[in-house]
Structure 1
Amino acid sequence: MDLDPEDVFKDEEDDLDNEFFQQSESSKEYVVYLVDASPKMFNTTCAGNDQKDETHFHTAVSCVAGSLKTQIISRSYDEVAICFFNTREKKNLQDLNGVFVFNVAEREHLDRPTARLIKEFDCIEESFMREIGSQYGIVPGSRENSLYNALWVAQALLRKGSIKTADKRILLFTNEDDPFGSLQDAAKKDMTRTTLQRAKDAQDLGISIELLPLSRPDSEFNVSTFYADLIGLDGEDLAQFMPSASQKLEDMKDQLRKRMFTKRVVRRIEFQIANRLSIELNTYALIRPTVPGAITWLDSVTNHPLKTERSLICEDTGALIQEPPKLFQPYRNENVKFLPEEIAEIKRISPGKLRLLGFKPLSCLKDYYNLRPSTFVYPSDQVKFSSNDTEVCFLNFFASSLLLILYTFIF
């Protein structure tokens, strides 16, 4: 592989044929936001002296809105649905009670986040009680199970696509750690069993369920009561769940402040350290100047892009030259001719590899050595060895580990 400097240092975003750009579809996410709308979610919480009191429902809506704004900027090809449960009104394809799907009407698929969706969702608190309403979906003497219905609706919304081409997630917002606490023995066990089975069925289909708990002022959210079994927590994961969940909520609120870009690999380069010792590096273009887009000339009649054609005419005879032109360079009163293959060989800097020649102090590195924007290199996680020699594989692994340690101490 020849190393073209113009190709190495350009931004990967400009190359639409790049394999990593084409993988955007395979890395998309399907997300269903499940928001508890029971009356407990509308109780005012004490936010402190410097902050205004707000409800848990407002917190959940703010997190969802912030997440949608981030997706529309950095991951616009993702698809989402917003679903409320424990509601008075119902709107879902399965016609289940207590579940209201906000942004999916008569269709059976998710929607991409749009400015119109975000604008309508930002006003949901003003019209929620009037148009949708809140009520307890699990009450004694009734067989209605709004949490079960919500998981069923979310699973149906996420049936689009394969788990090999998309990540499917359900984000559950609630401040009720025991949704079946008002029921008695037999009814409680039965609803708990069916709800856990519904969650297990969704997870078996490749759908991950993530809980975002909201603690009430009078008590801390106890995930061990019910939701630990629903999302599959035990041992050390159970002990560390609440701190990580709180941090995730804060991240969802603040993530819009930092615009995120997907760092794609520009090129893979082999780093040769010594004989038979090499590792694979990924290069990333982290900083690039903003330049105007390329100008495309269009035909004034058809509006089609114009194609430039060049013809060479002999200066002496005026005949059209069919053969490719020969290039030359004046040298000592003589024109030295070059073939196109020779010109390509001259322009080639080196093979597509980095070779370690030695070490010099940092003071030897001058600013004017940097001819192009720098490219960040990092060891590749997917190293391919061309040799079956066990010793060579071990040396490659050792070199990769050593480079990772150096990066850790430097940065």
Structure 2
Amino acid sequence: MEIDPDDLFRDDEDDPDNELFQERESTKEFVVYLVDASPKMFTTTCPAGDRKDDTHFHVAVSCIAQSLKTQIINNSYDEVAICFFNTREKKNLQDLNGVYVFNVADREYLDRPTARLIKEIDNIEESFMSKIGSQYGIVSGSRENSLYNALWVAQALLRKGSAKTADKRVLLFTNEDDPFGSIKGVIKTDMMRTTLQRTRDAQDLGISIELLPLSWPDSDFNVSTFYSDLLGLKGDDLARFMPAAGEKLEDMKDQLRKRMFKKRLVRKITFSIANGLSIQLSSYALIRPTLPGAITWLDSVTNRPLKTERSFICADTGALVQGSAKRFQPYKTENIKFSVEELSEIKRFSTGHLRLLGFKPLNCLKEFHNLRPSTFVFPTDEVASLVL
């Protein structure tokens, strides 16, 4: 790695030619919030005398509202949809019973979070029963499977975009650990099988399904009853799921911020100590000024950044100039010519390695020595650190 003195402290992620930059610019998130609206979700979770609106449905709606507020500020290009299942009314393109897609202006597809959507989801509890309604969508004596229908609708909502350019997720809020508990026998086995197959079909299309279980004060959500098979949880993953899910639900807003504001890796450099002993280091930006982002032109099909190509044409003959451009620097009475490669070599004054020359007292370090924001270095833990 060669060091350009004007480019030493630029983040690799902000380099348009870097793969990290292209990946960040071309990837956005499509999210479907899938909320169980069965009567059980509207049962108060607090003893008498506490807040009457403290229901699991209220908790789910509050989490969604907080997520939308965070996304509208930090990830404005992400797209979302809110879908309720176990409902009396139905509204979806597939015309499936028990599923209601809640979108602004009756648009049943993913859209960017807006202030209007946040306002309506905040006030949805006031009119939910009268306009949408709640009922159990999986009952004995009926082959109707509202959970299967909800996953089908969510998969259809996420059909836009490819898995290479979009991160597709379904966030499922429910307090029912056994959605098929009211039915028995072969019908139950068949409904569980078809629901699990619908989940695998969605996962094969690059859609991840995340469960946010809502537990009762006197009993925990038993994920082993059904959802462990739906999520593919086994062994240690099954044991760690409930604590991790509870923490994510309680701190949903902070969890999203942690995902958005990750540590900024500036560079990877080699620290040469002595006698051929080197350590691979990663440098991190602790403090950086916030600057407005540059405009990036994207391809409408692949969503990849466009690259500009420039050609030089001779002003006298109109022919395309094949040779590389030359630069010159006036010196006395003549122009000293440089090629682009020669100018690039002039800027490179080091191999890019840190080399230990010795030790000095701390008082030898002056304030004016710090020309740029400080960078924190730490041994790289991705690969073996020692290079002999």
- Give the structure-2-normalised TM-score: 0.77
* Residue 161 of structure 2 is aligned to residue 161 of structure 1: yes
- Provide the secondary structure at the position in 2 that maps to 1:203: helix
Matched with 2:386 is 399
User: 8 Å contact 1:41–1:174 — kept in the other structure?
Assistant: yes
Q: How far apart, CA to CA, are the structure 2 residues paired with 1:125 and 1:326? A: 75
1:170 aligned partner: 170
By how many angstroms is 1:110 displaced?
A: 2.0
Q: CA deviation at 1:83?
A: 0.9
The structure-2 alpha-carbon separation of the partners of 1:178 and 1:361, relative to structure 1 and needing over 3 Å to count, comes to farther
Q: Quick one: distance in 2 between partners of 1:39 and 1:180? A: 15
Indicate the larger mover: 160-169 or 183-192.
160-169
Whether contact under 8 Å (1:20, 1:264) holds in the other structure is no
For 1:339-378, list aligned pairs within 5 A. 349-360=349-360, 365-378=365-378
Query: How far apart are residue 104 of structure 1 and its match?
Result: 7.4
Show CA shifts across 1:73-127 (max 9, x none): 2222322221110011111111111111112777675222233322222222222
Instruction: Evaluate the alpha carbon distance shift between residue 167 and residue 194 of structure 1 in structure 2; reply closer, same or farther with a 3 A threshold.
Output: same
Amino acid at match of 1:70: T
Confirm whether residue 326 of structure 1 aligns to residue 330 of structure 2.
Answer: yes
Aligned partners of 1:32 and 1:83 also within 8 Å = yes
**Structure 2 letter corresponding to 1:98:** G
Shift of 1:263: 4.2
Q: Is the 8 A contact 2:29 2:166 kept in 1?
A: yes
Distance 1:352 1:137 in 2: 64
CA distance in 1, matches of 2:386, 2:240: 34
> Is 1:183 matched with 2:183?
yes
Give the Cα–Cα distance (whole angstroms) in 1 for the partners of residues 12 and 187 of structure 2. 58
How far apart, in 1, do the equivalents of 2:205 and 2:221 lie? 28
Local SS of the residue matching 1:101: strand
| CA displacement at 1:352 relative to structure 2 | 2.9
Give me the CA root mean square deviation.
3.7
Tell me, yes or no, if the aligned pair for 1:25 and 1:77 is still in contact at 8 Å.
Answer: no
Check conservation: 1:92, 1:99, Cα contact below 8 A: yes
Task: Tell me which residue corresponds to 1:236.
Answer: 236
In structure 2, the partner of 1:222 is 222
**Structure 1 pair 5/195, CA: closer, same or farther in 2 (3 Å)?**
same
What residue in structure 2 maps to residue 31 of structure 1?
31
Structure 2 distance, partners of 1:344, 1:162, is 39
Asked whether the 8 Å contact 1:31–1:81 carries over to 2, the reply is yes
Provide the aligned length of Structure 1 versus Structure 2: 352
Q: Which residue of 1 aligns with 2:308?
A: none
Partner residue of 1:333?
none
Please state how far the C-alpha of 1:205 moved relative to its aligned partner.
2.5
Q: Is the 8 A contact 2:171 2:210 kept in 1?
A: yes
State how far apart, in whole Å, the 2-side matches of 1:99 and 1:206 are.
23
Structure-1 separation of matches of 2:205 and 2:123 = 34
Residues 17-56 of structure 1: pairs in structure 2 closer than 5 A: 19-46=19-46, 54-56=54-56
- Equivalent position of 2:195 in the other structure: 195
Q: Measure the CA separation in 2 of the matches of 1:179 and 1:122.
A: 27
- Residue 251 of structure 2 aligns to a residue whose secondary structure is helix
Partners of 2:34 and 2:82 within 8 A in 1 = yes
SS at match of 1:326: strand
For the residues of structure 2 that align with 1:376 and 1:10, how far apart are their CA atoms?
14
Provide Cα deviations, 1:194-234, integer angstroms capped at 9, x if missing partner. Answer: 11221122223322221111012343211111111111112
Asked whether the equivalents of residues 81 and 102 of structure 1 are also in contact (C-alpha less than 8 Å), the reply is yes
Instruction: Indicate the residue corresponding to 2:252 in structure 1.
Output: 252
The question of whether the paired residues in 2 share the 8 Å contact of 1:47 and 1:53 is answered with no
- Which stretch shifts more, 222-231 or 373-382? 373-382
Alpha-carbon contact 1:74-1:259 (below 8 Å) kept: no
Distance 1:172 1:193 in 2: 19
Structure 2 gap segments, 5+ residues each: 295-326
* Per-residue Cα deviation, 1:337-393 (whole angstroms, up to 9, x for no partner): 99879998776553433223344565654444322211233455666xxxxxxxxxx
Query: Which has the higher mean CA deviation after the structures are superposed, 341-350 or 113-122?
Result: 341-350
Structure 2 match to 1:208:
208
Residue 390 of structure 1 is matched in structure 2 by none
Instruction: Work out the CA distance in 2 between the residues paired with 1:220 and 1:160.
Output: 37
Query: TM-score with structure 1 length normalisation?
Result: 0.73
Judge conservation of contact 2:72–2:113 (CA < 8 Å) in 1.
yes
Residues 286 and 19 of structure 1: is their aligned pair in 2 closer, same or farther, counting only changes over 3 Å?
Answer: farther
State whether structure 2 residue 105 is matched by structure 1 residue 110: no
> 8 Å contact 2:279–2:385 — kept in the other structure?
no
Identity percentage of aligned residues:
75
